[in-house]
Structure 1
Amino acid sequence: MQIEKRIHKCSHLTPVENEIAYYILSHKDEVINYSIQELSEQIHVSKSAIHRFCKKIDFKGFNELKIQLTNDISADIYKEHDIDINYPFTLQDNPIEIATKLLELYEKTIQDTLSCLDK
């Protein structure tokens, strides 16, 4: 489950935990490179508060949260470039958008085909 969903599912966060959640969601790319000490210094909370926050949203610890955060970022990047093969464009798309989406679709098709070939 994505971190954002876990946070919204947990309705009994303290103000400090809400601050931790807001910072993590707002600075995903930086947080994946922080240690728990660096995060605690960045948002001026204790390491134990961060650890309690991780436990409250069902992670074993900060490292597990960082792994899920990395997966969330990867999924977001993939979704940005994912084109529906059956309906690659809509009636509202202009000719440039249609051409761009077709280009991405063809590139993805060629990459997928290349990855299936026995070298």
Structure 2
Amino acid sequence: MTRENLARAAVLSVANSLADCLDILREAHVAVDRVLLIGGGARSEALCEVLPDTLGMPVTVPEAGEYVALGAAQQAAWAATEELPEWSRSVSRELFPAGDVGVQEFRRRYALARQETQAQLG
């Protein structure tokens, strides 16, 4: 095991955790038509490289901004008016799945390990 392999496994674990969350939303019949990557994750080139293949869908990286504060303001406006405001954002880049077989194999093994752990915990 090399440092590079360990670092890649750590990044892929974060990406797979996000993919699990996406799966849970879909199981709850939440339509997910886009993924935005903001904050520290957006500054991680390693995460940007593996996330689209892990999620199986494109990922949008907006220009850096105060998205937590803007999200809170948007929710407050939504609660006050019962209409979700649409605010524009500048896109830094669009990331698309590249067909990385290593990422897909990690996803498969990650799912197996999660299932085995859940079975052991009952």
Is TM (by shorter chain) over 0.5? no
**Richer in strand (by share):** 2
**Richer in helix (by share):** 1
Give the TM-score, by structure 2 length: 0.30
* Rg larger for: 1
Question: Greater RCO between the two (CA within 8 Å, min separation 6)?
Answer: 2
Give the TM-score, by structure 1 length: 0.31
